[in-house]
Structure 1
Amino acid sequence: MGKVVATYTVRPARETPGGCRCVSDSDQVRALTHAPTFYFYPPVNVSLESATEILRHSLSEALVIFYPLAGRLHWIGGGRLELDCNALGALLIAVESEGKIDDYGDFRPTPEIRALIPSVDYDKPIDELPLLLVQLTKFSCGSMSLGLGISHTIADGLSALHFISEWAKIARGEQANSPPFLDRSVLLAPEHLTAPVFDHPEFGPQPLLIGKQDNMEERKRETTTLMLKLSKDQVEKLKDKANKDRSPSDNKRPYTRYEAIAGHIWRSACKARQHESQQPTLLSIIVDARNRMEPPLPPRYFGNGTFRVTAETTSGELVSNSLGFASGKARQAIEKATHEYLQSSLVYVKCQEDVTNFRNFHTVGCAKGAFYGNPNLEITSWARLPIYGADFGWGQEIYMGPGGIGYDGKVFVFPGQGQDGSFVVALRLQVRHVDAFQKFFYEDI
């Protein structure tokens, strides 16, 4: 990790609204852990002390605007939480490292990368845990990294990036001119609905391996992370392949790049895992509901505006059919996310006595909560997120990516650096499946 040279609790620069606030029904089923991300910056002519002061003072100002991030969570029963806007602040750590940026290779989320983000002791009471964790690391080569952990109960990816963008503006001496919408009640279940009107397999038991009574053995298997790159040409080939077998009478729009990539990952995983033909397999996809709700969520809604939807088939069907079949299943899942379905999802959560088992954890090998590993997958797309451009006054980052991938079968898809049409697929798989997965992933393009 290096040498910790300074640790700060950063509180809002001025008084902010206090008191306890509800979190939405969407927030209630998010991971209790912090979502880890990191930025790498090229060698810069700024000292660690100066950069830390820039971050400390600008963060204090940013927390006036995004004051929920300075608060704490509290349990209120039934596995549910509320937000106490008590301005106790965020954690900021400055670290001096003898390492070099080249030591981190392709930047895949290894334990060494994870050490660039503050660690958290989740055995502590939840009301003692900061919702925002920041670590600035200066390397011997002059490069820097910024590692962030943001409570997933408080913010999804788009909200987190909105905060980072406004914070960076303040650090550069600019005006933060895009305030967040902080009223989470817009994603509470509607009062006129007393029961869900759809089935919601995303909250139900996930398929198990044939012959197994639970997923404990799969949770405990050794896993590792992969970073697989798809060039623009490879992405276009996958998209063409997915659309190749479409019927001329099919008037629906062609499969998108994301639908093609998602179907390809799902098929490759089933092949690599060598499932029996009749093995059920489920694909979970995270969709952004902001423009799917009626009316759409207010601009710059800050919270969890994403929902999980699922598609299910058998491994045999996926492997024996073309890529278009898998992409079609992915599209069917995404298209389920109508306003009515999303409202029903919120009602489903509201009707549960206890929501504890709906949460998953960004903690490798954790035996608690939901598990989306073998024989299943969960894919999160950052394809449309503004993940690049976090300039805090020392220039643009050279890389941004996930700082950890918590469990087998978790996948992130995000655009390559430079807006060249390439994509990166970051995922965690069981070690025994890695070689076969890489083989099928590239040979089947």
Structure 2
Amino acid sequence: MLIKGYTNIKIRIPKHAPNFRMGTLNQSPIKSLISKIIQDLKVTIHDTINIFPSHETEKQSMFLSNIDQVLNFNVETVHFFVANPRFPLQIVEEKLKSALSEALVVYDFLAGRLKLNLESQRFELDCNGAGAQFVVGKSEFELGEIGDLVYPNPGFKQLVQKSYDDLAIHDRPLCIIQLTSFRCGGFAIGVATNHAISDGISVKTFLENLASLAADKPLATTPCNDRHLLAARSPPQIQFDHPELLKIPTGIDFPSPTVFDTPEGELDFKIFKLTSNDIAHLKQKAKDEPFSTNAKITGFNVVAAHVWRCKALSYGTDYDPERVSTVLYAVDIRSRLGLPPSYAGNAVLSAYASARCKEIEEGPLSKLVEMVTEGTKRMTGEYAQSVIDWGEVNKGFPNGEFLISSWWRLGFADVEYPWGKPRYSCPVVYHRKDIILLFPDIVGESNNEVNVLVALPRKEMEKFEDLFHKFLA
């Protein structure tokens, strides 16, 4: 089950590991890959300042939906740029600061702080103009020296300034941007935001607006900040069963450490690359097998089905064919509830698919694709509103064996800044065995390939890897 727990897990890279295959075509020694990765980027912070809205904004408390309420943790992304002679670092810094100040007028909550309303016991956004934070740093390395940007290097943590855990929650900035230069003239923009204020889609919209303002252009999209659009109904109407949600009994707090905290050194970490040929092969395989018209054979659905099968059958030490495995994956509900595409809060819920391990092992891939498809179709507007109402009545969180978190098609690397598009964009990864991440490839190399990031105990990883290639054949 997935419950709240955000303690970072440190990964032991297995020195004993032999070659591991990325997809069906590529084989690369893990030692060779790791030897090219510098984990200490030797970043020195030179300046930290507050950025305030360029115009006075209204002081107000902003409502947070039940989806926002359970996402009080930071999400950090890094966006890498090659050197552009027309935009030296000083110009980039000036343009970013100015653009952020302008953006904070329409994104006034980003300059605010999170606070707990003691009467309602709900989090709210205090739009008090306290400011976002801008950090300037410098690495001793060139961008080309730090290794494969697709590989989620633990050193990338140095490129994003974290919120300050030693501060009271109402004093922590909700948006922190760090500009880190490399010796070659390339640079990284690290963005840290509290997940309670936005999902990946709305962060991309914010970055598009930031890039547009940095180019002295108007906003690309005017954000919709009305979070009451996702308020629960009064009275709440829970119209469906929600096995994908775990109710926490009243008076019971979350365990510390949480059930998913794994001691240092107990997880192996690998990236499995699925080429465009691999994905086409999985699609064709699903079409050739006994096929249901309910199955929507898309790139994401076949990859999710394949990963689900491997994760379910590698789980634990003893295989139990009757054990039920549940995979969770995000679905955008904006169109389902008639929200504007520019809705700036969290408008993503967890869809799910469940099956016994025996069915997952023996059934055709097309059946798993069908179940993933049905999970997405289940998320109608009525179902999504029922989930929101469930959160009004219950204290709880998504509940499943693991979550597939896809950054594959978010398009962060498509954002056009004055100095060009990012060479690569990625989240700063904290390895958890209950989350499998899907990453795109480097811009310009392939838009159809996906990197599957997996962190598991050694024995489970060995089984996962064997199954990954077995079911890909």
Normalised-by-shorter TM-score class: 0.7 to 0.9
Alignment partner, residue 326 of structure 2: 282
Matched to 1:136, the amino acid is L
How far apart, CA to CA, are the structure 1 residues paired with 2:360 and 2:257?
Answer: 22
- Aligned-residue RMSD, C-alpha: 2.5
Alignment partner, residue 210 of structure 1: none
Alignment partner, residue 434 of structure 1: 461
Alignment partner, residue 209 of structure 1: none
Post-superposition Cα deviations, 1:125-154, rounded to whole Å, max 9, x if no partner, equal 211111111111111232211111111100
SS of the equivalent of 1:115 reads helix
Alpha-carbon contact 1:409-1:427 (below 8 Å) kept:
no
Deviation, 1:100, is 2.8
Post-superposition Cα deviations, 1:378-428, rounded to whole Å, max 9, x if no partner, equal 013344433223343222211111212452131233443335322232343
How far apart, CA to CA, are the structure 1 residues paired with 2:340 and 2:258?
Answer: 41
Post-superposition Cα deviations, 1:164-201, rounded to whole Å, max 9, x if no partner, equal 0010111122221411011100100122x434111111
What does 1:396-407 align with in structure 2 at a 5 Å threshold? Answer: 396-405=421-430, 407=432
How far apart, CA to CA, are the structure 2 residues paired with 1:302 and 1:345?
Answer: 19
Alpha-carbon contact 2:179-2:188 (below 8 Å) kept:
yes
Task: Indicate whether 1:312 and 2:354 are aligned.
Answer: yes
Alpha-carbon contact 1:229-1:422 (below 8 Å) kept:
yes
How far apart, CA to CA, are the structure 1 residues paired with 2:176 and 2:151?
Answer: 20
Alignment partner, residue 27 of structure 1: 68
Alignment partner, residue 272 of structure 2: 228
What does 1:159-308 align with in structure 2 at a 5 Å threshold? Answer: 159-191=202-234, 193-204=235-246, 219-221=261-263, 222-247=266-291, 250-252=292-294, 254-273=296-315, 275-293=319-337, 296-308=338-350
What does 1:37-436 align with in structure 2 at a 5 Å threshold? Answer: 37-45=77-85, 46-77=87-118, 80-101=122-143, 102-191=145-234, 193-204=235-246, 219-221=261-263, 222-247=266-291, 250-252=292-294, 254-273=296-315, 275-293=319-337, 296-352=338-394, 355=395, 357-358=396-397, 376-405=401-430, 407-416=432-441, 417-418=443-444, 420-436=447-463
The structure-2 alpha-carbon separation of the partners of 1:52 and 1:182, relative to structure 1 and needing over 3 Å to count, comes to same
Alpha-carbon contact 1:117-1:147 (below 8 Å) kept:
yes
Q: How many residues are aligned here? A: 416
Alpha-carbon contact 1:172-1:391 (below 8 Å) kept:
no
How far apart, CA to CA, are the structure 1 residues paired with 2:462 and 2:200?
Answer: 30
Matched to 1:422, the amino acid is E
Deviation, 1:311, is 1.9
How far apart, CA to CA, are the structure 2 residues paired with 1:225 and 1:160?
Answer: 27
Matched to 2:47, the amino acid is A
Alignment partner, residue 366 of structure 1: none
SS of the equivalent of 1:51 reads helix
**More moved, 197-206 vs 32-41:** 197-206
How far apart, CA to CA, are the structure 1 residues paired with 2:471 and 2:69?
Answer: 39
Alignment partner, residue 18 of structure 2: none
Matched to 1:317, the amino acid is E
Alignment partner, residue 8 of structure 1: 49
How far apart, CA to CA, are the structure 1 residues paired with 2:257 and 2:115?
Answer: 30
How far apart, CA to CA, are the structure 1 residues paired with 2:458 and 2:190?
Answer: 26
Alignment partner, residue 364 of structure 1: none
Alpha-carbon contact 1:48-1:94 (below 8 Å) kept:
no
Deviation, 1:13, is 0.7
After superposing on structure 2, the runs of 4+ consecutive aligned residues of structure 1 that deviate more than 4 Å are 213-218
How far apart, CA to CA, are the structure 2 residues paired with 1:224 and 1:90?
Answer: 36
How far apart, CA to CA, are the structure 1 residues paired with 2:232 and 2:259?
Answer: 36
Alpha-carbon contact 1:73-1:126 (below 8 Å) kept:
yes
Deviation, 1:205, is 6.5
Matched to 1:408, the amino acid is K
Matched to 1:68, the amino acid is F
Alpha-carbon contact 1:171-1:393 (below 8 Å) kept:
yes
How far apart, CA to CA, are the structure 2 residues paired with 1:125 and 1:181?
Answer: 29
Matched to 2:278, the amino acid is Q
Deviation, 1:306, is 0.5
Deviation, 1:214, is 12
Deviation, 1:444, is 2.4
**More moved, 45-54 vs 170-179:** 45-54
How far apart, CA to CA, are the structure 1 residues paired with 2:150 and 2:452?
Answer: 12
SS of the equivalent of 2:261 reads helix
